[in-house]
Homo-oligomer: A and B are copies of this chain.
Amino acid sequence: MEQVSKNDGKGLIKSVQKSLKILKYIIDANEDVALSDIQKALDYNVSTIHHLLKTLIEEGFVSQNKTTKRYYIGPEIFFTWLRGRRPENYFSRVTPILEECVEATGETTNLFIRDNGEALCITGSESPKTLRAFLRIGRRIPLPCTAAGKAFLINYTREELKNYLKDTTKDLISLEEELKISRQRGYTLEINEYEEMITAIGVPVFDRNGRVICTLSTIAPSTRVDEERIEFISNKLMDASKKISELMLGVFY
Contacts and interface: CB of A to CB of B under 8 A. Distances in A.
Nearest to A246: B75
Interface in A42-69: 51-52, 54-56, 58-61, 63, 65-67
Contacts of A30: 85-86
A247 B75 contact: yes
A183 B89 CA distance: 26
Interface residues of A, dominant DSSP: mixed
Contacts of A55: 12-13, 16-17, 20
Contacts of A80: 27, 73, 77-78, 80-81
B91 A115 contact: yes
A213 B82 contact: yes
Interface in A7-54: 7, 11-13, 15-17, 19-21, 23-24, 27-31, 51-52, 54
A82 B12 contact: no
A139 B91 CA distance: 13
Contacts of A59: 17, 20-21, 24
Contacts of A135: 138
A201 to B, nearest CB: 20
Nearest to A86: B30
B138 A213 contact: no
A12 B51 CA distance: 6
Contact of A138 (B86, B88, B114, B137): B137
A23 to B, nearest CB: 8
Interface stretch (A117-125, A173-181, A187-195): A117-125
A123 to B, nearest CB: 7
A213 B120 contact: no
B252 A75 contact: yes
A130 interface: no
Interface in A93-145: 93, 113-116, 120-124, 135-139
